[in-house]
Amino acid sequence: MGSATPVDDEVALIAQLRAGDETAYEQVVRTYGGRLLAVTRRIVGSDEDARDIVQDAFLNAFKSLDRFEGNSKLSTWLHRIAVNAALTKLRSRKRKPEQSIETLLPAFLDDGHHEERFKSWDEPVDKVMERAETRQLVRAKIDELPDSYRTVLVLRDIEGLDTEETAKMLGLSVNATKIRLHRARQALRTMLAPHFGSTAPGKAAS
Amino acid sequence: MKCRELAEFLMDYVSGELPEENRAHFELHLTRCRNCREYLVQYEGTVKAGRIACGETSDELPDDVPEDLVKAVLAARKLEPSS
């Protein structure tokens, strides 16, 4: 259970799905469900909504298997369907004014120099990320980003979509997408720095 | 190039999209500015940290998909058979 489907087997799996093979449907849900739950939860911020979105995404995908052309991987196709559904859910929510991230962006003196002197992080990122509590902290900080910044960061840096596709999914221009991603990364850096540097208060604590 | 401009060009530099002329100015500034070198390291580290924490191999992913989700999808599919 939960084992990855080798890409080579994908053609056979899709043929089984199209033939209505129940075990193939179950295999797809078990193989891809976990990752779809994680990404949709990161976008909508709720386990319950993520579960509903993933359930609907599987059903929509299964209903439209005819439209799966096989020029992308099955997992990529499922991700697009689930992510689009999560973004639609997010847009449907009552809009409340988003918290500004200005204070999390680097500030500059009149002469163009950084206001802040950046202290080196204690350990290389690979090393610090070996700790489960740090990985949890990073996830918590990403979840704290305002919706419009978190979504672009999730699509570009975690889902690995390119700028054009991200812009299309979010209904933004390519330039606006790039600016937003850059700000999201800068804001996240500011949020992580106190925990990664030697002056960290309660390093690696949540 | 000032630190302010370097911060603006950072993303394009990291993704290899900064035009040659700007890149030369960018790298010249880096050789002279320890603070911007540190900022670049942390910016790249932040992207990497996000990928490790939430990516394909994240320990956040459950070993098994919740059984009720599997059952719900399979049951609902039977009610709405594919065309």
- Touching B: A residues 175-204, CB under 8 Å: 178, 181-182, 185-186, 188-189, 192-193, 196
Count Cβ–Cβ pairs < 8 Å, chain A vs chain B.
152
**Which residue in the block uniquely carries the two structure tokens 């950084």?**
A114
pLDDT greater than 60 at residue A1: no
What pLDDT shows up at residue A173?
Answer: 97
Band (B46; pLDDT cuts 50, 70, 90): very high
Adjacent-strand bridge partners of A114: A108
Q: Are A137 and A195 in contact (CB under 8 A)?
A: yes
Calpha distance A62→B76 (Å, rounded)? 11
What pLDDT shows up at residue B81?
Answer: 55
What pLDDT shows up at residue A5?
Answer: 47
B3·A142 Cβ contact <8 A:
no
Give the residue from A181, A103, A89 showing the smallest Cα distance to A142: A181
Q: What is the mean pLDDT of chain A?
A: 88
Does A65 contact chain B (CB < 8 Å)? yes
Q: What is the ipTM of this complex?
A: 0.90
- Touching B: A residues 80-139, CB under 8 Å: 106, 108, 111-114, 117-121, 124-126, 128-129, 132, 134-136, 138-139
The pLDDT tens digits for A94-116 are 677 888 999 999 999 999 999 99
Calculate what percentage of chain A has a pLDDT beyond 70.
91
The pLDDT tens digits for A22-71 are 899 999 999 999 999 999 999 999 999 999 999 999 999 999 888 887 77
Structure tokens that stand for A15 in this block: 């043929």
DSSP-derived secondary structure letter, A110: T
Calpha distance B37→B43 (Å, rounded)? 10
Contact residues on chain B for A126, CB-CB shorter than 8 A: 48, 52
What pLDDT shows up at residue A6?
Answer: 53
- Position B52: which residue type? I
B-chain residue closest to A20, CA distance:
B82
What pLDDT shows up at residue B83?
Answer: 47
Contact residues on chain A for B64, CB-CB shorter than 8 A: 1-2, 30, 34
What pLDDT shows up at residue A203?
Answer: 37
Calpha distance A82→A53 (Å, rounded)? 7
More confident site: A69 or A86: A86
Band (A201; pLDDT cuts 50, 70, 90): very low
B-chain residue closest to A150, CA distance:
B50
What pLDDT shows up at residue A8?
Answer: 61
Q: Are A156 and A150 in contact (CB under 8 A)?
A: no
Calpha distance B3→A109 (Å, rounded)? 10
pLDDT greater than 80 at residue B27: yes
Contact residues on chain A for B69, CB-CB shorter than 8 A: 29, 33, 37, 51, 54-55
Choose from B54, B59, B79, B83 for mutation: most chain A CBs within 10 A: B54
Contacts (Cβ under 8 Å, ≥6 apart) of A123: A196
The pLDDT tens digits for B12-21 are 999 999 999 9
Calpha distance B18→B24 (Å, rounded)? 10
Band (A204; pLDDT cuts 50, 70, 90): very low
Contacts (Cβ under 8 Å, ≥6 apart) of A148: A98, A180
Does A149 contact chain B (CB < 8 Å)? no
Helices (H) and strands (E) in chain A, counts: 9, 0
